[in-house]
Amino acid sequence: MAGHLLKVSSLATAVFASSGFYLYNRQLNLNDLSVVRFGRAAATTVVISLDYMTAFKHVDYDTEEYWALRSKVHRRSAERLRDLCCANRGTFIKVGQHLGALDFLLPEEYTSTLKVLHSRAPQSSMEEIQQVIREDLGKELSELFVSFEEEPQGAASLAQVHKAVLHDGRTVAIKVQHPKVQRQSSKDIAMIEVMLKTVHWLFPDFAFMWLVEEAKKNMPLELDFLNEGHNAEKVANMLAHFSFLKVPMIHWDLSTKRILTMEFVDGGQINDKDYMKEHSINVNEISENLGKMYSEMIFVHGFVHCDPHPGNVLVRKCPRSKKTEIALLDHGLYQVLQPGFRLDYCRLWQALIKGDMSGVERYSLRLGAGDLYPLFACVVTSRSWTSVNAGISSVPVTHSEDVEIQTNAAQYLPQISELLNRVHRPMLLLLKTNDLLRGIETTLQTRASSSSFINMSRCCIRAMARHKRSKAHSRTRRLQITLTESLNLGRLTVYELFLWVSGSPLGHWLTALLAFLH
């Protein structure tokens, strides 16, 4: 027996020693090993699950103590999840960022904790960046650029951006993919799927498999930078009539699947009010133009930029014209809306703005919400059921209503989870986009302004008229549709003019005069 033990221990020692020598020789990072990454993910899943299973054993449900403890469990679980994302990096950070953007869908403890992942993304070393450029473009940095800043302008979950100057003097931004992300992404998604299935098995009410489905569908597209370049050109052409929109021009001769070289555009983040004040940029104008741009993308064209977090939306004064511009960056993630879905979504918003509850129910059902349509209406608008019933355009947003929405997100998490698994898949990225845009509006203090509803209504009218014209078989019918469209758009313009006059000094003077005469 002693001889067998000696043989086994000697063999184990030899295996460990040779493995260590192999890893040292290859200069492998333990974090790159799937077994290490999976072990870390599994351990985090177990710890979080045990915390939820044991924390409430001696606390009565729906008491003050219960809700205080639940908040603490949410917070520490979110911190563990954040630490896992930071350790495993890549796809994990991307998924964590997605969750952090769902302000009005997930408990505040999770969203506020996971939001930091936008600023905690890893950086690749300069040697790794040079290696990717050498492999993909076949040249050294000095052959391609006069200068290349080693400190990145920004680092994200999948890539980082460097500023450089071409030999012809033009300044460019080079987006370079982290070298290990492509190889690890499919394995990481499989790990996340195992984690979520385990959580669903332990807690049947929490079904977040939609997250894995979205990651499987979108990650390959986001890792293909040529696809991102084509998206950028498509949206630039599609929205060319908006003089305030700036989309960086792509340098195709210096772009590959892992490298995207584009025109360098500087500016302040769209939530930076100090930058806007310093550069005399009108906050209301920016908010209104952002709403116009996204209403056009969603309702008219069905081609939607789905990652408008503040780092991807810059504001600036155009160096030549001195006019205010919005620069839209990072075009890797777009949602294409099929005509049927897009038109139902148009009709839903028209019903929500008017307070047409039968329409809200009808079009919510058509978008897959089923009997959860009241919750769906609240989730889409980030408004209370009371405001939805009254018509969201007629009820101003209050801080207490926002608090109520976030509190309900914590209380109705199982129902929200069920809703997200039930609705049509394109709805998921639209909800994320809605939440990111509302986050910007909240920071700018322009939430639910009348101009945003007018712009949405205008785009919905145009989209419905375009659809009806495509189905019309006679010139007379098409003319009738066009005249009705013009009439409805004219009414909106008159209403907009009325609101402008009402809010102007002239409007205040007239109101005071009428009150005096009365």
Q: Cite the active site residues.
A: 307
For residues 432 and 306, is the Cβ–Cβ distance under 8 A?
Answer: yes
259 sits in which H/E element: strand 259-263
56 sits in which H/E element: none
The residue type found at 65 is: E
For residues 484 and 491, is the Cβ–Cβ distance under 8 A?
Answer: no
192 sits in which H/E element: helix 181-202
Q: How many CB atoms lie within 10 A of CB 83?
A: 13
Instruction: List, in order, residues 6 or more apart from 171 with CB less than 8 Å away.
Output: 163, 164, 165, 263, 264
Instruction: Please work out, in degrees rounded to the nearest 5, the angle formed at the alpha carbon of residue 249 by the alpha carbons of 255 and 312.
Output: 90
Judged on CB neighbours under 10 Å (0-12, 13-18, 19+), 263 is middle
Which SS3 state, helix, strand or coil, does residue 337 take?
A: coil
Instruction: List, in order, residues 6 or more apart from 511 with CB less than 8 Å away.
Output: 502
Among 256, 220, 207, 236, smallest CA distance to 419 is for 207
What is the C-alpha to C-alpha distance for residues 105 and 408, in angstroms, rounded to an integer? 9
What is the C-alpha to C-alpha distance for residues 414 and 421, in angstroms, rounded to an integer? 11
Q: How many CB atoms lie within 10 A of CB 175?
A: 25
What is the C-alpha to C-alpha distance for residues 427 and 367, in angstroms, rounded to an integer? 8
